[in-house]
Amino acid sequence: DSGVTQTPKHLITATGQRVTLRCSPRSGDLSVYWYQQSLDQGLQFLIQYYNGEERAKGNILERFSAQQFPDLHSELNLSSLELGDSALYFCASSVAEVFADTQYFGPGTRLTVL
């Protein structure tokens, strides 16, 4: 157990819908990262937050957004869902945003878009 929690574990929804994925970092960690794992794209970085502020963006679609709240939990919002958004979404956290920091991953949320 990494100490990073993600809810829900599974999510099944329809095209065009909107969902919210939630992540709670390890106690004391200030940075949160979101990754997407799909069969065709592999593991890809989406976005990073540090202490409530967006710090880095990767291959995140405009239909996707995220935020980190004052209690440091983070939410990833996915809207106008398409079949291709079906994937495993991971959250990771690290102590700070020092390059040498290690990222610890949660169990993931499996999103299925029908």
Partner 1 sequence: AQSVTQPDIHITVSEGASLELRCNYSYGATPYLFWYVQSPGQGLQLLLKYFSGDTLVQGIKGFEAEFKRSQSSFNLRKPSVHWSDAAEYFCARKAAGNKLTFGGGTRVLVKP
**Residue 15 touches partner 1, criterion: CB under 8 A:** no
Q: How far is the CB of 111 from partner 1 (least distance, A)?
A: 15
**Is the CB of residue 42 less than 8 Å from the CB of residue 107?**
no
**Which residue matches tokens 């880095």?**
56
Report the distance separating Cα 92 and Cα 24, nearest Å.
Answer: 9
**Which residue matches tokens 């079906």?**
86
CA-CA-CA-CA torsion sign (84, 85, 87, 92)? positive
* CB burial of residue 37 (10 Å; 0-12, 13-18, 19+): middle
What is the helix (H) or strand (E) element at residue 42, kind and residue range? Answer: strand 42-50
**Residue 107 touches partner 1, criterion: CB under 8 A:** yes
| Count of residues in contact with partner 1, rule CB under 8 A | 27
**Residue 102 touches partner 1, criterion: CB under 8 A:** yes
> Which 55-74 residues touch partner 1, going by CB under 8 A?
55-56, 58
**Residue 90 touches partner 1, criterion: CB under 8 A:** yes
Q: Supply 15's token pair.
A: 């095209």
> Which 18-57 residues touch partner 1, going by CB under 8 A?
31, 33, 35, 42-45, 48, 55-56
**Residue 89 touches partner 1, criterion: CB under 8 A:** no
Residues binding partner 1 (CB under 8 A): 2, 4, 31, 33, 35, 42-45, 48, 55-56, 58, 90, 92, 94, 97, 99-108
